[in-house]
Amino acid sequence: MKYISVILLLLMLMLVGCNTVKDEILAPTDETPDAQGYYSRSGGGVNLRYKTVGNDLQCILSANTPGWLSVGFDPSSRMKDANYIIGYVNGGVGSIRDDWGTSQSSHEADVALGGTSDITLLASDESGGITTLEFIIPLNSGDAKDKAMVIGNSYSLIFAKGNADDYDSMHSGTGVSTITIH
């Protein structure tokens, strides 16, 4: 009985010690790009296709949602310190914002925090229940509210989606993964 108590205590301590996104990830191991050179990751019903183009990361983010979708790069704990990209399509027009994870459960626009918007929306679509945003971010923008990413390194990802066309409503799905910059 004493051994069972010790084992249960150790298991509980292991679960409590899992307090960062990096600790929670079960990452896919397939590192094979598709025919267009994109690698893929997904979590919480959100899909990310990505590839490096020069000094930029080109991304296609999609989800089965009529509202917003997002990806956060390299958070320190849940949403905190993530370079957070969030956007939506309304009336055929895409909107996207470069945010920073201000706490474990919130984010704000980089520009509102004294940073710069370092994202270029290339295309957007909302059809068949799927919202898609194609964008480019620099691997190293020089902005204190963006994290530099280095080719060859891996980073944590957080995903979320919501049902409204805005930047502030609650999510309806979340997930985690990792990304390796190739």
Task: Tell me the pLDDT tens digit for each residue of 23-74.
Answer: 333 444 457 999 999 999 999 999 999 999 999 999 999 999 999 999 999 9
**Mean pLDDT value across residues 111-136:** 97
Between 181 and 17, the higher pLDDT residue: 181
Phi and psi torsions of 38, nearest 5°: -85, 140
* 159 pLDDT higher than 90: yes
Mean pLDDT score, 123-139: 97
Q: What is the predicted pLDDT for the residue at 30?
A: 55
pLDDT of the residue at 145: 93
What fold characterizes domain 40-140+148-180? Immunoglobulin-like (2.60.40)
Q: Provide the percentage of residues in the chain whose pLDDT is more than 90.
A: 83
**pLDDT category of residue 2 using cuts at 50, 70 and 90:** low
In the chain, the largest separation of any two C-alpha atoms, in whole Å, equals 63
pLDDT of residue 1: 53
Contacts of 14 (CB under 8 A, 6+ apart): none
Backbone angles phi, psi at 12, to 5 degrees: -65, -40
For residues 119 and 96, the answer to whether their CB atoms sit within 8 Å is: yes
Range name among 1-5, 113-117, 174-178 with the lowest pLDDT average: 1-5
pLDDT band of residue 17 (cuts 50, 70, 90) is: very low
- Partners of 69 in the β-ladder: 87, 161
Contact partners, residue 81, CB within 8 Å, separation at least 6 = 74, 75, 100, 101, 147
User: What number is the average pLDDT over the span 69-86?
Assistant: 96
DSSP code of 45? T
How high is the pLDDT of residue 6?
A: 43
Residue 127 — φ and ψ, nearest 5°?
Answer: -155, 150
Give 146's Cβ-side CA count (13 Å radius): 21
pLDDT computed for residue 31 by the predictor: 78
**Higher model confidence: residue 17 or residue 110?**
110
